[in-house]
Each structure stands twice: as structure tokens, then as C-alpha cells.
Amino acid sequence: MKRSRTIQLNHLPRVEGHGNIHIRVQQGKVVEARWEVVETPRFFEAMLIGKLWENAPYLCGRICGICSIGHTLASIRAVENAFGIVPSEQTTTLRLLLKHMETLQSHILHLYFLAAPDFLGVGSLLALTQSHPTEVQRALRLKLLANDACDLIGGRRLHPTRTVVGGFTMLPEKAQLEHLAQRLAAAQEDLAAAADLFGGFTIPHFARETEFVSLKGDHDYPFIGGELISSDGVIKKEDEYQAMTNEYCAEGFTAKLSRLSRDSYAVGALARLNNNFGHLHPAARTVAKRLGLAPVNHNPFMANLAQLVECVHVVHDSLSLIKKLLRRKRQAPRVALKPRKGYGVGAVEVPRGILYHAYEFDQEGRIVKADCVIPTSQNHANIQHDLQALARQWAAQGQADADIELLAQMLVRAYDPCISCSVH
């Protein structure tokens, strides 16, 4: 069936922030397939200038409501690196635990609230409360557990209060950590059921070779700091991040875009998994195999399943982290600090991919320059190229408009884009 048609979808639903999809097909040929980002910019990099260092994590957490913890931690790391502060092992362990719980919270939110409705043929989780009440209860239970853990360690699930440069303002009690461990152990059953549910979904058949960028794990599946790696073989130090991100502006995007060895690259759960598969917890690797996920996987729709695999990983790893915390003697919650002139970078794997914060300070610790590179902005160009390839494939197969529209939406959603964050 060769005919002309236009698909225009403004303010795509069930994604964070504002983006449009535009596809134009003429005589069975794609003449245009565009991903457009129209979010209003907030100018965080400008608003920080002239402010004292302590404003950076406090303000930058507000770049994103979903991954405020990740932004806060990246910002704190950049400040600590600039001031030459080495956090205690207790702080490092607690931060990773907090990071894990944000990953779990965000992935569950995406998998059940944003992605699952497409696979089950409904418009929102609301409809699923009728058709799949057990699954909805399970999603809420997992999300509540993760959010409660964020409250416990970070002080607040959204825009955390306890996380500061040098450590934490307060520490969780031993009994609270023990209780969290019990809940995490119980959550494994829920995650197994989640794997059953998502494993049963039909993942669209599509692949486009691309480059994957993430932190490079040495001994562990990496989340906070370290070297940077791409699946095309680029390796850089944390403070050379700009050689990975190469940001540029382009028409149709209020966010900046990135490229490395090719026209675009991808970050996120699938990139992490592709680059660091061997460092996943064995239980997570088992689930990955069951879901047909092995490196290097070039199907962007598989990012959903990669998130699920990461949920399994973070729950197992959190149990080890809590054990470690309970075994060790408690240390002071934070170390003292002295601002100094300098430059620091913090790279953190947040739910949607690798995030960088970088600041330059004057002698008194005032911010002279700030730069934040957001995972979703790094993904925008890759989404654009996927969308073109997909549209071509579908147009050639002569699929119905409604199907193309749904699949295009599902593609964008698979990246779990955080658009307001990308236009920070």
C-alpha cells in the first residue's frame, strides 16, 4: 500500500517533559521523520554563576524531579573533586545505596506507569488498575519500598535533604537499615514476577547499530565516578568528559545534542548493560539471559528489559551494601571542608544514563563556570536517527498509521526521556 500520510504528535504523553514526533510519508517513502524538543529552558548553568559552592547541589538537584538524587550526587562529587575532598567509605557506601534506590524507583515508575500500558494496549496505569490489579499493586509496592529507602538515606525522596558536600547531615539508624534489608529481600519475589510480566511482552523487531557510552566498571557495575567508555572503543578520564559529549545546538531542539564516533550515541540502562554486562550481579545476568538480553544489543526497545535487569542488580547489591554498613563501625556523618580555587567533574550513572556536572570555583568557592550534560540530551540525536530508520522500515512494510504512531511513541518512551532535565 503506497500512499502519503503525516503523523504529527505534539507534547507526547507518558514521557517527562515536552517533545513532538513528526513523520511524513509520500508514496510509501519517508520524506521526514523528526524528533523535536520544545521544552522551555531554565538556564541552570547561568543561574549558578556567582553563587557560593553550597548552592550547586541544592539548586542542581532541582534540574530534575525524577532523578534529583542523581543530580545532587553528581553535583556533590564535582564540588568534592574541585576541593580535593575524599568522602569516607561509609559515605561512599551510603551514596551508592541511595543511588540504587533512586534507580529502582525510577525504573519501576517507567516500566509500569509509562511503558507497560503500551504493551498491554491501554492509555495509562489507571486502566490497568481494573485489568491488572495484582500487577499495579506490585508496582506500587516496589516503588514505595524504593521511595521509603530514599527518604531513609537521603532524607527525602525528591530533592533530598541529608545529602551534602562532605557526606550526610544525618545517618540512618541500624534498626532502620535492618528493616530495609528485610523489605529488599522480600522484593525479590516481586521482581521475579515483574520479569515474568515483561518477559511476556512482544518487543518490536528493530535494530540499528549505534555507539553506547557509559561509566567503565573495573570491579563493579559502575554508578558513581570512574573512567568513561564507549562501545566503539573510546576510553576517557572523568574530567575529560567533554571529549565524550561534544555538545552542539541544532534547530528543532531546545536541548543540546551530543555525538562521539558516529552521528549519535546512546546512554542509559541498555548502554550500561552492553558495556558492563560482566559486572552485573549473577542473579541479574540470569534474568537478562532469560529475557534474551546479551551484549551488544542494538534494539532500543530492549532498554525496557535492561531496566528490569538493573532493578534485580540494584536490589541484590543494596543487600550487600547494607551488610557492609552494619558490619563496620559508624563513622562521623561528614568530613570538614575548605573551599579552594579549582575545577571538578562528577560523572554519575543516573537512571537514564551518564550524567556530568562540572564547576570551576574561585578562591572563596564561588562558581565561575558551570556545565551539566544530561543523559537525555545525549540520547536526543540517537532517538532522531532511530526514528528515521524505524519510519523507513515501517513505510516499506506498509504498516497502518495508528500502528506507526504507537510504535514511534513506544520508541521514544523506551529511552525513558527526561526532557525537562535535558533542557535544564
Residues 6+ apart with CB under 8 A from 375: 267, 268, 350, 352, 353, 354, 355, 418, 421, 422
Site string for ligand SF4, 59-78 (x = CB under 6 A): ---x--x-------------
List binders of ligand SF4 among 340-399 (CB under 6 A). none
- Specify the residue, 227 or 401, whose C-beta has the smaller distance to other proteins: 401
Sheet hosting strand 228-230, strand order edge to edge: 235-236, 228-230, 211-215, 265-266
Give the residue carrying C-alpha cell 573533586. Answer: 81
Residue type, 188: Q
List binders of other proteins among 218-237 (CB under 8 A). none
C-alpha cell at 347: 560523572
Give the residue carrying C-alpha cell 558492563. Answer: 276
- Specify the residue, 65 or 84, whose C-beta has the smaller distance to ligand SF4: 65
Three-state DSSP state, 215: strand
Residue 368 binds which entry of other proteins, ligand SF4, none, with Cβ cut-offs from 5 to 8 Å by kind?
Answer: other proteins
42 is a site residue for ligand SF4 (CB under 6 A): no
Q: Which stretch binds other proteins (CB under 8 A): 124-132, 184-192, 203-211, 229-237?
A: 124-132
Q: Which of 113, 108, 99 is nearest to 67 (CA)?
A: 99
**Among positions 31, 126, 294, 326, the unique one binding other proteins when judged by CB under 8 A:** 126
**Rounded Cα distance, 121 and 62, in Å:** 34
Q: Least CB distance from residue 158 to other proteins, whole Å? A: 5
**Among positions 31, 49, 86, 326, the unique one binding other proteins when judged by CB under 8 A:** 49
Q: Least CB distance from residue 18 to other proteins, whole Å? A: 8
**Rounded Cα distance, 121 and 197, in Å:** 14
Q: Least CB distance from residue 155 to ligand SF4, whole Å? A: 10
List binders of other proteins among 147-186 (CB under 8 A). 147, 155-159, 161-162, 164, 169-170
14 is a site residue for ligand SF4 (CB under 6 A): no
Provide the b/e sequence for 215-224 (b: ≥16 CB within 10 Å): bbbeeebbbb
- Specify the residue, 34 or 159, whose C-beta has the smaller distance to other proteins: 159
398 is a site residue for other proteins (CB under 8 A): no
The secondary structure of 225-281, three-state, reads CCCEEECCCCEECHHHCHHHHCCECCCCECCCECCCCCCCEECCHHHHHHHHHHHCC
Under the rule (CB under 8 A), what is the footprint of other proteins? 11, 13-17, 40-43, 45-47, 49-52, 54-55, 58-59, 62-66, 68, 109, 113-114, 117, 123-126, 129, 136, 140-141, 143-144, 147, 155-159, 161-162, 164, 169-170, 249, 254, 256, 360, 362, 366, 368-369, 420-421
